[in-house]
Amino acid sequence: MVGAGISTPSGIPSCRSPGTGFYSSFQHCDVPYPEAIFELTFFLHNPRPFFTWAKKMYPENYRPNVIHYFLRLLQDKGLLLRLYTQNIDGLERAAGIPDSRLVEAHGSFASATCTVCGRASPMEGFWAEVMGDRVPRCTVCTGVVKPDIVFFGEALPQRFLLHVVDFPIADLLLILGTSLQVEPFASLSEAPRSSVPRVFMNQEAAGSLAWRPRSRDVLQLGELVDGVDKLVELLGWTEELKDLVQRETGQLSGRDR
Ligand code: CNA
Ligand code: ZN
């Protein structure tokens, strides 16, 4: 299970970091309260603040970091049953986690849909509008187009239900970079069998791991990159991860040229 904290080393602020979190960046915008930019009623009334933020999420702006590649290494070694992410930045996919292993629980910017007629909207046109500071509109009915990220009160994607089959058979749960405040995602932390170790790496303790700890829990508090480095070293994978990062980041920058 991962959250916004795994992407802060890629330069994407998490929600609640005081001063730098993206909720604080909306204090001066035309929004009644920061979370409103992810509420459907507010979005339909005034989509501009959302798209001002969405512009910063343009996929080319960010690259996966060592934490994403650690998850990729788990996948390459056949150890990753599933990756449940709350992030909508698409960096797990960019790091090479295949669709079949990924549950983007809060959706992603990979696709977008008209809020009026429900037609899928081509993404090139969508980004051209967003990057040009215009609200993207449906070419058929002129309705506002919304990326398929899950707003407050919206249903999670069908794939989220995979947790029903995954969690009972997992033999380790890694929880990285999340404040475990958003439901129903947060409650997945309680879904593994009670004998299954949960390894939580985050700046601070949070959620059920703070208020209902289990005897086999491992908490690695502090900077996430340091925590992941430490685990990778204990596993003897330091060189392998370094090679993977070099190979992949080389390819990504090669693609830019
Ligand atoms: P959150 O509530 O912002 O919590 C993030 C957690 O990560 C906090 O406890 C931070 O202290 C911790 N953290 C941040 N950086 C580090 C670091 N470098 N080392 C250690 N700990 C760190 O975010 P959640 O994911 O828990 O909340 C769920 C929301 C946030 C989801 O709906 C996301 O869609 C949404 N979000 C996503 C992104 C993204 O896609 N990258 C960015 C911001 C918010
Ligand atoms: Zn339409």
Q: What is the number of residues in the chain?
A: 257
pLDDT at residue 250, as a whole number: 84
pLDDT one-digit tens code per residue, 44-63: 999 999 999 999 999 889 99
- What distance in angstroms lies between residue 13's CA and the mean position of ligand 1's atoms? 8
Question: Residue 118: is its pLDDT beyond 50?
Answer: yes
Task: In whole angstroms, give the CA distance from residue 230 to residue 39.
Answer: 39
What is the pLDDT confidence band of residue 256, given thresholds at 50, 70 and 90?
very low
pLDDT one-digit tens code per residue, 11-25: 998 876 555 566 665
Among 15, 23, 63, 68, residue to substitute to test ligand 1 (most atoms within 8 Å of Cβ): 15
- What distance in angstroms lies between residue 68's CA and the mean position of ligand 1's atoms? 14
Residue 131 CB contacts under 8 Å (≥ 6 apart), including other chains? 55, 58
pLDDT one-digit tens code per residue, 70-111: 999 999 999 999 999 999 999 999 999 999 999 999 999 999
Among 1, 8, 14, residue to substitute to test ligand 1 (most atoms within 8 Å of Cβ): 14
**Cβ–Cβ < 8 Å for 33, 10:** no
Q: Could you say which ligand is closest to the alpha carbon of residue 145?
A: 2
If you search the block for the tokens 């001066």, which residue do you land on? 28
pLDDT at residue 33, as a whole number: 77
Per the prediction, the chain carries an average pLDDT of: 92
Percent of the chain with pLDDT over 70: 92
Beta strand pairing call for 107-114 and 145-149: antiparallel
Other beta carbons less than 10 A from residue 153's beta carbon:
9
Ligand 1 pocket by Cβ (under 6 Å): 3-5, 7-9, 12, 14-16, 22, 86-89, 106, 177-179, 181-182, 202-204, 206, 223-224
- Tokens representing 42 are 């507010």
Beta strand pairing call for 198-202 and 173-176: parallel
**Cβ–Cβ < 8 Å for 229, 176:** no
pLDDT one-digit tens code per residue, 225-242: 999 999 999 999 999 999
Give 106: exposed, middle or buried? Use CB within 10 Å, 0-12, 13-18, 19+: buried
Other beta carbons less than 10 A from residue 4's beta carbon:
22
Known catalytic residue at 45: no
Taking the mean position of all CA atoms in its chain, how far away is CA 123? 19
Q: Could you say which ligand is closest to the alpha carbon of residue 141?
A: 2
Percent of the chain with pLDDT over 90: 84
pLDDT at residue 257, as a whole number: 39
Q: What is the three-class DSSP state of 133?
A: coil
Q: Could you say which ligand is closest to the alpha carbon of residue 120?
A: 2
pLDDT at residue 189, as a whole number: 98
pLDDT at residue 35, as a whole number: 84
Higher model confidence: residue 202 or residue 34?
202
Annotated active-site residue in 28, 45, 68, 106 = 106
**Cβ–Cβ < 8 Å for 230, 204:** no
- What distance in angstroms lies between residue 50's CA and the mean position of ligand 2's atoms? 19
Distances (CA, A) of 152 to 8, 155, 223: 22, 9, 29
What is the pLDDT confidence band of residue 27, given thresholds at 50, 70 and 90?
low
| Lowest-confidence segment of 28-37, 99-108, 158-167 by average pLDDT | 28-37
User: Which atom belonging to ligand 1 lies closest to the Cα atom of 87?
Assistant: 40
- What distance in angstroms lies between residue 157's CA and the mean position of ligand 1's atoms? 20
Task: In whole angstroms, give the CA distance from residue 87 to residue 103.
Answer: 10
> Could you give the angle at the alpha carbon of 8 between the alpha carbons of 5 and 14, nearest 5°?
60
What is the pLDDT confidence band of residue 26, given thresholds at 50, 70 and 90?
low
pLDDT at residue 109, as a whole number: 94
